[in-house]
Amino acid sequence: MKVLMKGNEALAEAAIRAGCRHFFGYPITPQTELAAYMSKRMPKIGGTYLQAESEIAAVNMVLGASAAGVRAMTSSSSPGVSLKGEGISYMAGSDLPALIINVQRGGPGLGGIQPSQADYWQATKATGHGDFQILVFAPSTVQEMVDLVSDAFDLADQYRMPAMILADGMLGQMMEPVTLPEEGGKAPIEKPWAACGHGGKREHNIVNSLYLTPDKLESLVKERFARYEIIKEKEQRAEEYLTDDADVVVVAYGASSRVAKGAVNKARELGLKAGLVRPITLWPFPADALNRAASHAKALLAVEMSMGQMVDDVKLAINCQKPVHFFGRTGGMIPTPAEVLEQIKGLV
C-alpha cells in the first residue's frame, strides 16, 4: 500500500534509497523535516548525518564527500541556499556531482516562511559566480519528489555536475500518498576520477577548481558548455496537458502548476481552450515542449509564485513568437485557481 508522507520526508527517504549515505545540513523552515528525518535514519544504516555549523560548512562537506566519490547531498531553504552558492560554484568548477535541495520560502532577505518560487533566477542563472549551469528539477507532487531524487543523482553522476531539486514550502510540508522505490535499484556509475585512496596503485587524482592559466581555464569551461549542449538536447522534461488544441497555454511549474492545472480544468468546463505546459526540468528549460504548444496558441500565460522570473525563459524559448503574459503572487501568497481562471478568460 502507498504511504502518506510529507514532501520533505519523502525527499529524504528517496535519497537514502538512491544510495545516498552522506547528508550535511543546517536547519531552516520550511525544510527542517528533511534534515530531521535524515538524523533519525542515517545512523541506523551506517550513513553520515551531520548538522554543520553553517550552510557554507555543510555545502563544503558535500563537496569533500563528492570528491571522494560518494553520493552526497544537502538541503535548505532560500536564505540558506544563497549561502551555499559559493560551494555549488566550486563543485561546478570541479566537475563534481551532488544533490542540493531548495524548499523555497518568500524573500528577499530573511523574507518569510511561506511557500514561494522566487529563487528561479538563482537556481537557473546565478547559483554562484562563474560560467556554469546546474541541473534543476521542479517536482509538483510528493510522488514526483521521490521519483526525481534518484534521477537527479543519476544525471548528476553521469554529467559530473551539481543537480538541484527546486521545491517550495507547500510541497515540502504537504502529505500525499507515495510509492517508494526499492532500495539498491540501479547501481551508481563508476567514478574513476574520485580522490578516494588507492594504495599507490595509480596516478593520484586531483579535484580542483583553481586554474590560473587563462587558456586552460577557458578550454575547461568550453568543455563543460559542450556537455551543457548535450544536456539541453537530451534531458528536457515537461508535462504537456491539453495543449494540442489550446488557444491559451499556461506555463507553470511546481506548486503553482497544481493551481494552474485546476484553472485549466475549470476553463475547459466553460468551453475555453486552455492547456498547460509544466516544466519538470527548469534547466535545461523545456523549449521543445513550449514551441510545440505555442505553435498554434494565441497567447501564453506564465503563472508563478514570484514577481515573474521563469516568464523570461518562456519568451526566450519561443523567441517571442507569441505574446507571453504573466500572473503571479509573491511573498508566500499562493495564487488561487479562480485568479488564474480570470487571467485565462482575459486572453481567450
Contact 86, 100 (CB under 8 A): no
The residue among 299 and 341 lying less far from other proteins, judged by its C-beta, is: 341
Q: Is residue 77 within 8 Å of 119, Cβ to Cβ?
A: no
DSSP states along 64-133: HHHHTT--EEEEE-HHHHHHHHHHHHHHHHTT--EEEEEEEBS-STT--SSB--TTHHHHHT-SSSSS--
Q: How far apart, in Å, are the Cα atoms of 196 and each of 69, 79, 163, 204?
A: 7, 32, 22, 9
Strand, helix or coil for residue 154: helix
Give the residue with the Cβ less far from other proteins, 261 or 322: 261
Report the amino acid identity of residue 83: L
In the complex, least distance from residue 332 CB atom to other proteins, rounded to whole angstroms: 10
CB 239 → other proteins: shortest distance, Å?
A: 12
Within 13 Å of residue 73, how many CA atoms lie on the same side as its CB? 32
Which residue, 56 or 113, has its beta carbon nearer to other proteins?
113
Q: Which is nearer to other proteins, 6 or 71 (CB)?
A: 6
**Which CB, 1 or 45, lies closer to other proteins?**
1
Distance in Å, CB of 170 to other proteins, minimum: 7
Segments in the chain forming alpha helices (H): 7-17, 32-41, 55-67, 78-93, 120-124, 142-159, 169-173, 214-234, 254-269, 287-294, 310-317, 337-347
What does residue 268 show for φ and ψ, rounded to 5 degrees?
-65, -40
Cβ closest to other proteins, residue 304 vs residue 313: 304
Q: How far is the CB of 277 from other proteins (least distance, A)?
A: 16
Task: Give min distance, CB of 1 to other proteins, in A.
Answer: 8
* Positions that interact with other proteins (CB under 8 A): 1-2, 4, 29-30, 113-114, 169-170, 173-177, 255, 258-259, 261-262, 265, 334, 336-337
In the block, which residue shows the cell 537514502? 16
Nearest approach, Cβ of residue 335 and other proteins (Å): 8
C-beta of 63 vs 142, nearer to other proteins: 142
Least Å from the CB of residue 262 to other proteins: 3
What pairs with residue 105 in β-bridges? 115
List the grid coordinates of 306.
514570484
- Amino acid letter for position 257: S
Whose Cβ is closer to other proteins: residue 334's or residue 348's? 334
- Cβ-based nearer residue to other proteins, 94 or 243: 243
288: exposed, middle or buried (Cβ count in 10 Å: 0-12, 13-18, 19+): middle
Least distance (Å) between residue 326 CB and other proteins:
19
Q: How many CB atoms lie within 10 A of CB 283?
A: 25
CB of 175 to other proteins, least distance (A): 4
